[in-house]
């Protein structure tokens, strides 16, 4: 946790710093707007106390700069010249509180204590939620997973780029988070984006940001996700879906670590580690010309291939037990035992969606369970390819209509299981977002 004090009076800076050090380990002090703006660019602050009137400008400018660099920064404004107008201006700009000089030390101590406790609680909740809901899914004792863990431990401390390859639902983002958490960047943000979730133009503006007036509707300056990940990690999921033109711009960033937002003539240095992932065969992408070879070699300093559940079936009971405990607690359901026939069914079920599909199946069964026993209920049907050929009627039938109905059924089922989230539904079916959207439109299914 880090704090910033911006005040032109040395004695006030000294008193406030001593007070903040009671709660916050690192406290920086500056006396001008210029120094404050520079500090905001080079450091990430959880809390800032800013004087309204400074020798070279207004503390409101510092407040806005802090909020632009990191919206979560809590800012307290202080001034000896309090008016209703300045108070309103400060609160509109994002200040948490507004205090007048001479201020009461005990009052500020109490405010700071409350802010620190809130920040610590929010961080704890985020950590626990991430750990319980996501990170623990990356478990397994199979040889295949032991090899994955060994590679993560080896490559995490270094800043080299990583390309993760694996089927949908194998835990590519979880692996990226594990690499990030074990690296020196672990305390900084990891920013993730699915490259298939946005059209090329929007994806470019999301990644690189844009200047005010860069295009119609750009009423303010917006920092891109690359810059949001400064000092941390940028995770680019489904990198194979990125348009070729944007691939060239990403390659340039990887080479010189500088970005230029849309509509801006100024380049900015950004310190980011890039981890990319794809569920498609890279060799096919390269052969088709859908992916730049030079970008591939930039991204794949380390190439990590994740095993599917078919390649580590011995881990399925571990995952089942984990998800049963998790969802039983989440939904306040009493699960005393798992029926052996249910476990046998899961182990031999074709989980094309891998861990993600397994998680969804367990969630459903926990909700439907009765009497404290997890049994097999009306499980989703096996995929056509693995369910065996049905008897062909002597009168024949329309294969196209049959397949279309099967496709429509799975599209709706995936949307229902993901509560209407198309990106997750696409992943569940092993499709890209664009493929899913195309199939949905082709079936004339209602938008979710």
Q: How confident is the model at residue 358 (pLDDT cuts 50, 70, 90)?
A: very high
Average pLDDT over residues 342-361: 88
* Reported pTM: 0.57
Cβ–Cβ < 8 Å for 285, 292? no
Distances (CA, A) of 369 to 236, 341, 349: 38, 14, 19
CA-based nearest residue to 330, from 359, 309, 357? 359
pLDDT at 389 over 60: no
Which backbone phi and psi does 343 adopt, to 5 degrees? Answer: -60, -40
**CATH number of the domain located at residue range(s) 2-124 in this protein:** 3.40.50.2300
The Cα 125–Cα 112 span in angstroms is: 20
Mean pLDDT of 84-99: 76
The answer to whether the beta carbons of residues 18 and 108 sit under 8 Å apart is no
| Residue of 108 and 136 predicted with greater confidence | 108
Torsion of CA 158, 259, 299, 431, to 10 degrees: 120
Give the pLDDT of residue 125.
56
CA gap 262, 347 in Å, rounded: 50
The answer to whether the CB of 115 falls within 8 A of the CB of 149 is no
Taking 50 as the threshold, does the pLDDT of residue 385 lie above it? Answer: no
State in words which class domain 310-442 has.
mainly alpha
pLDDT higher than threshold 80 for residue 135: no
What was the pLDDT predicted at 285?
A: 86
Residues facing residue 184 across a β-bridge? none
pLDDT confidence band for 151 (50 / 70 / 90): very high
Higher-pLDDT residue of 279, 390: 279
Residues 62, 85 contacting (CB under 8 angstroms): no
Strand-pair partners of 102: none
- Residue 383 pLDDT > 50, yes or no? no
- Same topology for domains 2-124 and 134-307, yes or no? yes
**Residue 161, pLDDT above cutoff 90:** yes
CA 150 to each of CA 138, 155, 166, 175, 216: distance values in angstroms, whole numbers, following the listed order: 13, 9, 17, 12, 49
Tokens of 367: 């909700």
348 pLDDT band (50/70/90 cuts)? confident
For residues 426-438, one letter each, b for 16 or more C-beta atoms within 10 angstroms of the residue's C-beta and e for the rest, the string is bbbbbbbbeebbe
Q: What is the pLDDT of residue 406?
A: 75
Q: How far apart are CA 322 and CA 209, in angstroms?
A: 40
Q: DSSP labels for 101-135?
A: SSPPHHHHHHHHHHHHHHHHHHHHHHHHHHHHHTG
- Contact between residue 176 and residue 281 where contact means Cβ atoms under 8 Å apart: no
How much is the average pLDDT of 416-445? Answer: 78
Domain boundaries, the chain: 2-124, 134-307, 310-442
Q: What is the mean pLDDT of residues 4-20?
A: 89
- 134-307 is classed in which CATH architecture? 3-Layer(aba) Sandwich (3.40)
Provide CB contacts within 8 A for 353, sequence distance 6+. 168, 169, 360, 427, 428, 429, 430
Higher pLDDT, 412 or 205: 205
The per-residue pLDDT for 396 is 62
Q: How far apart are CA 249 and CA 247, in angstroms?
A: 5
State mean pLDDT over 287-298.
92
Average pLDDT score over residue span 109-120 = 82
Tally the C-alpha atoms within 13 A of residue 397's C-alpha that lie toward its C-beta.
11
Mean pLDDT, rounded, for 300-328 = 92
> Do the Cβ atoms of 346 and 361 come closer than 8 Å?
yes
pLDDT band, very low/low/confident/very high, at 394 (cuts 50, 70, 90): low
The residues facing 162 across adjacent strands are 275, 302
Ranges 114-128, 181-195, 232-246: which has the least confidence: 114-128
pLDDT, residue 445, reads 42
- Nearest in space to 320 (alpha carbons), one of 369, 357, 294: 357
**Which pLDDT does position 402 carry in this prediction?**
66
Closest CA to 17 of 28, 8, 9: 28
User: Which three-class secondary structure state does DSSP give residue 10?
Assistant: helix
- pLDDT for res 393: 55
Q: Give the β-pairing of 53-54 and 57-58.
A: antiparallel
Mean pLDDT, all residues of the chain: 83
> pLDDT grade, residue 378 (50/70/90)?
low
What is d(CA 381, CA 357) in angstroms, rounded to the nearest whole number? 13
Would the pLDDT of 43 be above 90?
no
Rounded Cα distance, 195 and 315, in Å: 30
pLDDT score recorded for residue 311: 92
pLDDT at 60 over 50: yes
């Amino acid at each position: 946790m880090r704090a910033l004090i911006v005040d032109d009076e040395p004695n006030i800076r000294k008193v406030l710093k001593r007070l903040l050090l009671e709660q916050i380990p690192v406290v920086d002090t500056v006396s001008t707007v210029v120094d404050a703006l520079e500090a905001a660019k080079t450091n990430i602050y959880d809390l800032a106390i800013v004087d309204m009137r400074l020798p070279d400008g207004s503390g409101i400018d510092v407040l806005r700069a802090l909020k632009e660099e990191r919206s979560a920064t809590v800012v307290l404004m202080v001034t000896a010249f309090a008016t209703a107008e300045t108070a309103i201006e400060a609160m509109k700009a994002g200040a948490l509180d507004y205090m007048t000089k001479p201020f009461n030390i005990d009052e500020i101590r109490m405010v700071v204590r409350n802010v620190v406790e809130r920040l610590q609680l929010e961080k704890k909740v985020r950590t626990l939620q991430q750990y319980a809901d996501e990170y623990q899914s990356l478990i397994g004792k199979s040889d295949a997973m032991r090899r994955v863990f060994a590679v993560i431990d080896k490559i995490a401390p270094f800043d080299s780029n990583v390309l993760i390859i694996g089927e949908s639902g194998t835990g590519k983002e979880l692996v990226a988070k594990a690499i990030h958490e074990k690296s020196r960047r672990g305390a900084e943000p990891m920013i993730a984006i699915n490259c298939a979730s946005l059209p090329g133009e929007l994806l470019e503006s999301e990644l690189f940001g844009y200047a005010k007036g860069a295009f119609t509707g750009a009423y303010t300056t917006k920092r891109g996700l690359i810059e949001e990940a400064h000092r941390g990690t940028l995770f680019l999921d489904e990198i194979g879906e990125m348009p070729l033109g944007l691939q060239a711009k990403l390659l340039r960033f990887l080479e010189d670590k500088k970005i230029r937002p849309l509509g801006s003539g100024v380049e900015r240095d950004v310190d980011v580690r890039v981890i990319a992932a794809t569920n498609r065969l890279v060799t096919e992408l390269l052969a088709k010309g859908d992916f730049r070879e030079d970008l591939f070699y930039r991204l794949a300093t380390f190439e990590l291939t994740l095993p599917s559940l078919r390649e580590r079936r011995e881990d399925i009971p571990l995952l089942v037990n984990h998800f049963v405990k998790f969802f039983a607690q989440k939904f306040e359901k009493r699960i005393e035992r798992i029926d052996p026939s249910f476990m046998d069914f899961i182990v031999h079920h074709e989980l094309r969606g891998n861990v993600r599909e397994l998680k969804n199946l367990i969630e459903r069964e926990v909700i439907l369970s009765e009497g404290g026993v997890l049994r097999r209920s009306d499980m989703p049907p096996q995929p056509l390819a693995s369910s065996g050929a049905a008897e062909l009627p002597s009168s024949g039938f329309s294969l196209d209509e049959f397949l279309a109905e099967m496709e429509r059924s799975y599209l709706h089922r995936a949307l229902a299981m993901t509560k209407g989230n198309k990106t997750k539904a696409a992943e569940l079916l092993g499709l890209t977002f664009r493929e899913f959207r195309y199939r949905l439109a082709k079936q004339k299914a209602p938008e979710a």
